[in-house]
Structure 1
Amino acid sequence: MKRFQFFFFFLAALLCLAPGLLSAQSAIIKGEIRGRVVDGSNGQPLDFATVSLYSAADSSLVGGNTTQATGDFVIEAPLGEYYARVEFLVYETLTIPSINLTKGARKVDLGVIELAPEAEELAEVIVTAEKSTMQMGLDKKVFNVGKDLASQGGTASELLDNVPTLQVDVEGNLSLRGSTGVRILINGRPSGLIGSDPAAGLRSIPANMIEKVEVITNPSARYEAEGMAGIVNIVLKKDDRGGLNGSFDLIAGAPLNLGTSVNLNYRKDRFNFFVNYGLSYREGPGGGSQTNTFFRPEGTFITLQESDRNRSGINNSLRFGADYSFSDKSVLTMAGIVRRGDDDNYNETRYFDYLNDLDNPTGAVIRGDNETEEEWRKEINLSYVKTFDRKGQKFSADIRYQDDTEREGSDLFNRFLDANFDPTDMEDELQRSNNTESSDQLIFQSDYIHPFGEEGRIEVGVRGSRRNIDNDFLVEEFIDQEWMSLAQFSNDFNYDETVAAAYFIIGNKKNRFSWQVGLRPEYSRFSTRLLQTEEVNDREFLNLFPSAFVGYELPNNNTLQLSYSRRINRPRFWDLNPFFSFSDERNFRSGNPNLNPEFTDSYELSHIKIFDKGSVGSSVYYRRTNNVISRIRRVNDDNTTITMPENLLTENAYGVEVTSTYDPTKWLRLSGDFNFFRAITDGGNLEDDFSADATTWFTRGTVRVSPTKKTDIQLRFNYRAPRIVPQGRNKSLYSFDLAASQDIMKDKATLTLSVRDLLNSRRWRYLNEGVTNGNPFRIEGDFQWRVRQVSLTFNYRLNQSKKRGGNRGDRGGDYGGEGEF
């Protein structure tokens, strides 16, 4: 009921605003701009050329249209001063200044507008005028990944694994600077495309739908406090130029990978329509091995475990919506997301058992798991943005509703072999599991920015969210000719979460010095319920999350910033869900309903140096985390293991990070990042061996060569050094990605051939060691989520030019960072 009260409250607020908006709209006096666009070389009219109208005061887009078959166009706009930009593929863009609509001249005829065909020698100008691959601000790094060659034909998960400071592990979990407490946003907001399982959500989003990725390492109070390591914001492709424009992609690869994506935008007058659609079918063969050794008084028990798997499925992702501009300063947007996934996965695991040594086998079991998954995710949101005459003054409000449903079913069998690994007379053991998960979430957010003085500003905002997740998990075994429920694996689990927050930020800048402080109080309440066993765990927290930023601009394009923020990492649904995984009957995984949130205090000193041919950003950081969450493995009496998350005492992490780009010539671009850190974990609240002291590093480097104006070749190298973790260590990992692209069809299209994991070396290798009830154990293994991939992508652009890397004039990037005014 509270959820609907919340929704109607916001709806009533919108209704209160509506009369003012409509009355302001009706008072606007419009004028008319017309003209005809022709080919300057032969006078032929150009059909579907784009004419965009911009405000002369602040260069904001006011409206636009496309030409008819005769080359004619008409644009309606309020009275004012404007300029226009006329664009058409393979023609030079033409800017028309000083267009004035007044009461005495409400109609302006621009006459015949001649566009000159684009000369071949202008190709280098286009290259230098486009966005750089990486833009660095003090609090935020922006990576324009839309044209990253290695990510073509892949998923968002694979794309993020190529972004500096980020890593994606073998299970698809995202980490930033070695920490997994990352908040993932889509277009600046929580999204149904991610859902309650971020790893699965990222694997379902085609990389071709993504324009850029923003990495915020020390967020201010304006951002929700969730995500102790920082925030990763994925920005999907969207254009607001006049007329119809977009891109189309076709993908084919091996292992079997077929897909297509469409990104379209159409703007006319005050309406702007956009749609992104991705359809893919992928097969992901993988597998691994593991050796379990358990030391007991009665002997040493050894299990050699081998697994082969193939994950396959069809995924559909649709995002659509429309903007309506009441004026050049007032925009209402309605958008929706629908995602459907149908997966068919098969996994076979073979267990070979030995006593004392590998010369004494005792038997074996072959376990098969044929799993089907069906998933629906839906989201609708309504947002309103209002800017004012004063630069920087802005009001925005956003409400969104998300609904997810996922059903999983598995048919499993155990086949028993004797000590010679030959089949026995025993019948196969048959089992099956069914899991239904449904969730819904309602989120409201409103923000206001008020500038003062020359460089100062005050920001205030509120945010509220309510989420409910229900999970029904049933496991059965075929016994005596009937299916019997296995009570230890079956239950109904319910999770409710409510978060309410507000924030206040004030900042200013004087000469080279800038500062900003903020405070965000958040109230959170979450409840877990095991319905069949009537176990209930209700908890609530009221916390304050301060932030502070101090910046100073040094001579010669050097900038320093010192920042602090306090963050929280709330346990995810699957971290709290106590149901055991059932695919691997020797190594179980479970959530922990008694898990508490992590709290992190983060300090960072950042520096940026910009020079003619590149830029260098460096950071020294320190994070102290209380109630740090770590997955702990324990051994049962029957030599099965259970891994579940638990709260340890603290983790102190500090390190240094360097990110850079360098273009020594027009045809060569170099970029890379390096991160060295130490993490000291105190797990003494549970057992002494759950503490860890890890010193490690990882690096990534990219070389991009453009031997011709239409050809690019890219090579990327990744390396992660070994890392000590509680109960063991993760071993080193390295990989290479290679890609090449060629522009075709008069630069309207591009073919890209990419090979991900060129040497087939991207394997997760690990070692776990510990003691349970006085008995030592050792588990060593490796796993590969997906083997080497080869993809061929065809990209066609409609009324768009290709974005290429190599910008000499855009090294500083986004300086709208915290503490920057």
Structure 2
Amino acid sequence: MKILLLPLTFVILSFSKLYAQQDAIISGKLLDADKNPVLFANVALFKSADSTLAGGLASDENGVFKIPAKPGNYYLRISYLAMAEKIVPNVKVVSGNVDLGTISLKADAKVLDELVVKGEKSQMELQLDKRVFNIGKDLSNIGGSASDVLNNMPSVTVDVDGNVALRGSGNVRILIDGKQSGMVGMNPVEALKQIPSDLIESIEIITNPSSRYDAEGEVGILNIVMKKNIRYGLNGSFTGTAGYPANLGGSFNINYRKEKINLIASYGHLYREGPGRGSSRQEYTSADTSFVYEQKTDRTRGGYSNNFTVGMDYFFNKHNTLTGTLSYRNSQNSNSSRLEYKDFDFNNNLTRTVVRTEEENEPRTNVEAALSYRKTFDKKGQSLSFDAKYIISDETEASRYNEGSIGEGNSLVQRSFNTEDEKNWLFQLDYIHPFAKNGKLEAGLKSSTRLLDNDFSVHQQNAQMNWIILPDFDNRLAYDEKIHAAYLMASNQFGKFFVQGGLRGEYSDILTELKKTNEVNHRKYFNLFPSLHLSYKLEDAQTLQLSYSYRLSRPGFRDLLPFSSFSDSRVFRSGNPLLNPEFTHSLEAGHLLNMEKGSLLSSVYYRRRLGVVENITTVDSTGFTRIMPVNLSTGNAYGMEFNLTYDPFNWWKWTANANLFRAVNEGVYADRVLRSDTYTWTGRISSRVTLFKNIDFQSSFNYRAPRKTTQGRDLSQYFIDLGLSRDILKGRGTITASVRDLMNSRMQRRIVENEGYYSKSEFQWRARQFIVTFSYRLNRSKEKERGENRDDMGDEQ
């Protein structure tokens, strides 16, 4: 029995000793000067005897840390970005846990100053499949709209009508925070003019999107990233704008973060008046008839808009976040125009002068509700996200027209109504799974439904003062679009070589129906869209990129709508309900050179387009001109692009970009071959000088070269912008003065030639503008903003 008790006693004593020496827990909670938790601070435990590292970790989402330790004497070293290092001495572990209670950290002014120099956000950031342009540094964007911001982006052009093009193509997809939005859904031209630039953080230009993005957009995607932040406490920014012609606005963007809840709110109000002018000459000659007339146009488009967003982030823990937002947008435009037609005979003698006036009211409302859930895992880079969005929009255009010959009084009175209602549902699921050291798998599902109802009619007053509907301009369009998609993508890095490949499948079910004429067009099709991105790092300062994608461009709502505008009684623009989508193969190669004082991104690209949609102009013998989009041709585009940033001195920064390309389109319309082969380019150069440390002066020059079209040519266009800003109130405020289109030269000039028809026109949508803007940052200085990393809560995760 004794022999058995000896080993049993040994075992019991051994377990008792191990139990007695088990690790204790050293714990505490980190708070900043405002009593907010300090997340993810580095807490290191050192032995007092020889200063060897005994353990350490990062504080959790509540600022709490818990470090296991054996009995002994220690000290803590706590460090965190932009805060002074904290030493906690004389931490003694005897036989139980040690609770250090609350530990306060203070901001380090020296560290903040260093962040200003080293952490200033670059205006252009290059990522594998996109370029990110931070707009805050560009003075020409302050006080403007989203349309103005896009017009200052490299390779992006916005014509006088507000139509956006990328690398010369208008088939570009516009997203907000990585997702489709009702704000730019039905009428992107007007919507972009109503979004204040003060609410925009950055613009992402994605010329060859990967499979995670929708296949929509032949030439790529422009993603507008709105401002947001999740800093602790109450902070935000406020902006006020005044300008001439009438440009009055104000906006704020604030958030309040406390432990697990982050509340956000933003609001922007904008009132603008945009005077425009133009002129044209139309000549038509045939065997039966001929006509010549000149047209002079004076227009004013103006009104107000309100953009309001509220939302909340709820952080269950460091791995699970739920976000809900509600956005409301309302605008009321009042537009007027005066068109003067001068008719001439064949000998160029004036025969009569006709004047047509229009008064239009255009109210719009848009409501969006979005819910997003994001889950991360202990494994770095692994995440799961789910997004749901509901959008409802309505818009009404009501116009009244008066037309008559001078000296004869009004002989024609008309009115038109155009109501547009839209509903959207969107559901999206994305999952990222890392593998190996730098690899990851991505997969996702998406389903969207879009319902549009458009009722339009034109009425004319008869001699008895009764309103008669014009049957050629009376119909109701119902548009039902369902798109279901799935994608799978993988990427990995092999030394200096990085590869990303993906495949996206999309099933489209689109029904277009003209109710009053019983014209139905139902299309169902399934397509696979591959993408490939390759990157090779030659050395620390140079990187090569190669990418390929296959994409499509479905006709937009306006392109399908048979009725567009009745403002001009002699030139009618309409859509085409029978349009089919375009398909595009896109190949691009790029080279990034990082230099000591700048960077140079050079790209060459090729696009092969099938079923290219072009606007065709036709004229009848009465002089009535119709412009309508058709699937005309195949197209090939070859181009090269350069983006240069160069800072010769700390106080002087240069940026320049140029896009040179050749576009060849060829097709047949009405038994006639239409072909264009054009060499053209666009460019922008900007200089920013900092004087006396707190004054910035910026000048920029934009140019668009002439280009040929299948029915004529577009002439050159240029404009100059200037801006001057000064920081005040110890860096918390900034006042900016700017002038857009200094020479009042931003004018679209176009020539159209067809069999027996010649037209030359020029139009300026908005005259030169002078703007003064004041911005104030609450609980954050300009320097702190530059040093922070933006928390990107958009679709690109």
Residues 133-153 of structure 1 show CA distances to partners (whole Å, capped at 9, x for unaligned) of 111224211100023210111
Q: Shift of the alpha carbon at 1:125?
A: 5.7
Matched, 1:109 2:102: yes
Q: Which residue of 1 aligns with 2:29?
A: 33
In 2, are the aligned partners of 1:698 and 1:719 still within 8 Å (CA)?
Answer: yes
SS in 1 for 2:184: coil
Q: Shift of the alpha carbon at 1:457?
A: 1.2
Q: In the alignment, residue 570 of structure 2 is paired with which amino acid?
A: R
Unpaired runs of 5+ residues, structure 1, are: 1-28, 38-47, 64-74, 418-422
Q: Which residue of 2 aligns with 1:69?
A: none
Report the CA distance shift for 1:193/1:78 in structure 2 as closer, same or farther (over 3 A).
farther
Residues 711-738 of structure 1 show CA distances to partners (whole Å, capped at 9, x for unaligned) of 0000000000001011011100011000
Q: Distance in 2 between matches of 1:105 and 1:373?
A: 68
Please, what TM-score do these two structures have when normalized by structure 2?
A: 0.89
Q: Which residue of 2 aligns with 1:601?
A: 585
Largest Rg, 1 or 2: 2
Match for residue 476 of structure 1 among 440, 453, 459: 459
Q: Which residue of 1 aligns with 2:231?
A: 241
Q: Distance in 1 between matches of 2:784 and 2:619?
A: 54
Q: Distance in 2 between matches of 1:231 and 1:83?
A: 47
Q: Shift of the alpha carbon at 1:104?
A: 3.8
Q: Shift of the alpha carbon at 1:520?
A: 0.6
Q: Which residue of 2 aligns with 1:448?
A: 431
Q: Which residue of 1 aligns with 2:320?
A: 330
Matched, 1:778 2:758: yes
Residues 724-755 of structure 1 show CA distances to partners (whole Å, capped at 9, x for unaligned) of 01101110001100000001112110000010
Match for residue 766 of structure 1 among 726, 750, 759: 750
In 1, are the aligned partners of 2:39 and 2:63 still within 8 Å (CA)?
Answer: no
Report the CA distance shift for 1:546/1:181 in structure 2 as closer, same or farther (over 3 A).
same
SS in 1 for 2:140: helix
Q: Which residue of 2 aligns with 1:15?
A: none
In 2, are the aligned partners of 1:123 and 1:709 still within 8 Å (CA)?
Answer: no
- Structure 1 segment 532-571 matched on structure 2, within 5 A: 532-571=516-555
Match for residue 380 of structure 2 among 381, 388, 391: 391
Q: In the alignment, residue 495 of structure 2 is paired with which amino acid?
A: N
Q: Shift of the alpha carbon at 1:562?
A: 1.3
Q: Which residue of 1 aligns with 2:12?
A: none
Report the CA distance shift for 1:537/1:641 in structure 2 as closer, same or farther (over 3 A).
same
Q: Which residue of 1 aligns with 2:287?
A: 297
SS in 1 for 2:782: coil
Q: Distance in 2 between matches of 1:732 and 1:83?
A: 64
Q: Which residue of 2 aligns with 1:704?
A: 688
Report the CA distance shift for 1:712/1:54 in structure 2 as closer, same or farther (over 3 A).
same
Report the CA distance shift for 1:155/1:464 in structure 2 as closer, same or farther (over 3 A).
same
- Structure 1 segment 661-700 matched on structure 2, within 5 A: 661-684=645-668, 686-700=670-684
Q: Shift of the alpha carbon at 1:192?
A: 2.0
Report the CA distance shift for 1:232/1:35 in structure 2 as closer, same or farther (over 3 A).
closer
In 2, are the aligned partners of 1:53 and 1:85 still within 8 Å (CA)?
Answer: no
Residues 184-239 of structure 1 show CA distances to partners (whole Å, capped at 9, x for unaligned) of 11111111221221111111100000011111110111111000101111111111
Residues 599-633 of structure 1 show CA distances to partners (whole Å, capped at 9, x for unaligned) of 00000111111122111111110000000010000
Q: Distance in 2 between matches of 1:506 and 1:116?
A: 42
Q: Which residue of 2 aligns with 1:287?
A: 277
Q: Which residue of 2 aligns with 1:646?
A: 630
Q: Distance in 2 between matches of 1:60 and 1:309?
A: 61
- Name segments (4+ residues, structure 1) moved above 2 Å: 29-37, 48-52, 54-63, 75-87, 92-100, 102-108, 113-119, 122-125, 296-300, 684-690, 803-807
Residues 417-453 of structure 1 show CA distances to partners (whole Å, capped at 9, x for unaligned) of 3xxxxx12x5431111111110001011111111111
Residues 262-299 of structure 1 show CA distances to partners (whole Å, capped at 9, x for unaligned) of 01011110111111110011111011001111112355
Report the CA distance shift for 1:333/1:124 in structure 2 as closer, same or farther (over 3 A).
closer
Q: Shift of the alpha carbon at 1:581?
A: 2.1
Q: Shift of the alpha carbon at 1:649?
A: 2.5
Structural RMSD (CA): 3.0
Q: Distance in 1 between matches of 2:160 and 2:729?
A: 39
Q: Shift of the alpha carbon at 1:391?
A: 1.4
Matched, 1:376 2:365: yes
Q: Distance in 2 between matches of 1:401 and 1:634?
A: 41
Q: Shift of the alpha carbon at 1:83?
A: 10
Report the CA distance shift for 1:806/1:763 in structure 2 as closer, same or farther (over 3 A).
farther
In 1, are the aligned partners of 2:240 and 2:773 still within 8 Å (CA)?
Answer: yes
Q: Which residue of 2 aligns with 1:205?
A: 195
SS in 2 for 1:709: coil
Match for residue 321 of structure 1 among 308, 311, 317: 311
Q: In the alignment, residue 589 of structure 1 is paired with which amino acid?
A: R
- Structure 1 segment 355-374 matched on structure 2, within 5 A: 355-358=345-348, 360-374=349-363
Q: Distance in 2 between matches of 1:725 and 1:489?
A: 29
Q: Which residue of 2 aligns with 1:788?
A: 768
Q: Distance in 1 between matches of 2:516 and 2:85?
A: 69
Q: Distance in 2 between matches of 1:611 and 1:137?
A: 17
In 1, are the aligned partners of 2:57 and 2:65 still within 8 Å (CA)?
Answer: no
SS in 1 for 2:39: strand
Q: Distance in 2 between matches of 1:60 and 1:165?
A: 44
- Structure 1 segment 466-505 matched on structure 2, within 5 A: 466-479=449-462, 480-505=464-489
Match for residue 351 of structure 1 among 316, 332, 341: 341
SS in 2 for 1:574: helix
Q: Distance in 2 between matches of 1:507 and 1:444?
A: 25
Q: Distance in 2 between matches of 1:801 and 1:339?
A: 29
Report the CA distance shift for 1:235/1:98 in structure 2 as closer, same or farther (over 3 A).
farther
Match for residue 342 of structure 1 among 307, 332, 337: 332
Residues 753-799 of structure 1 show CA distances to partners (whole Å, capped at 9, x for unaligned) of 0101011000000000112xxxx101110011100011000000011
SS in 1 for 2:161: coil
Q: In the alignment, residue 186 of structure 1 is paired with which amino acid?
A: I
Matched, 1:400 2:393: no
In 1, are the aligned partners of 2:42 and 2:78 still within 8 Å (CA)?
Answer: no
Match for residue 39 of structure 2 among 29, 49, 53: 53
Q: Distance in 2 between matches of 1:745 and 1:532?
A: 63
Q: Which residue of 1 aligns with 2:443?
A: 460
Q: Shift of the alpha carbon at 1:491?
A: 1.0
Q: Distance in 2 between matches of 1:156 and 1:116?
A: 37
- Structure 1 segment 220-259 matched on structure 2, within 5 A: 220-259=210-249
Q: In the alignment, residue 444 of structure 1 is paired with which amino acid?
A: F
Matched, 1:630 2:620: no
Report the CA distance shift for 1:36/1:717 in structure 2 as closer, same or farther (over 3 A).
closer
Residues 290-313 of structure 1 show CA distances to partners (whole Å, capped at 9, x for unaligned) of 111111235541110001011110
Q: Shift of the alpha carbon at 1:62?
A: 5.6
Residues 6-33 of structure 1 show CA distances to partners (whole Å, capped at 9, x for unaligned) of xxxxxxxxxxxxxxxxxxxxxxx99873
In 2, are the aligned partners of 1:689 and 1:727 still within 8 Å (CA)?
Answer: no
Q: In the alignment, residue 744 of structure 1 is paired with which amino acid?
A: I
Q: Which residue of 1 aligns with 2:72?
A: none
Unpaired runs of 5+ residues, structure 2, are: 1-24, 44-55, 69-75
Q: In the alignment, residue 177 of structure 2 is paired with which amino acid?
A: N
Q: In the alignment, residue 301 of structure 1 is paired with which amino acid?
A: F
Q: Shift of the alpha carbon at 1:56?
A: 4.7
Please, what TM-score do these two structures have when normalized by structure 1?
A: 0.86
Which stretch of structure 1 is more off in the superposition, 502-511 or 713-722? Answer: 502-511
Q: Shift of the alpha carbon at 1:36?
A: 7.1
Matched, 1:308 2:304: no
Q: Shift of the alpha carbon at 1:128?
A: 3.8
SS in 2 for 1:260: strand
Residues 233-265 of structure 1 show CA distances to partners (whole Å, capped at 9, x for unaligned) of 111111111111110001000001111000101
In 2, are the aligned partners of 1:751 and 1:795 still within 8 Å (CA)?
Answer: yes
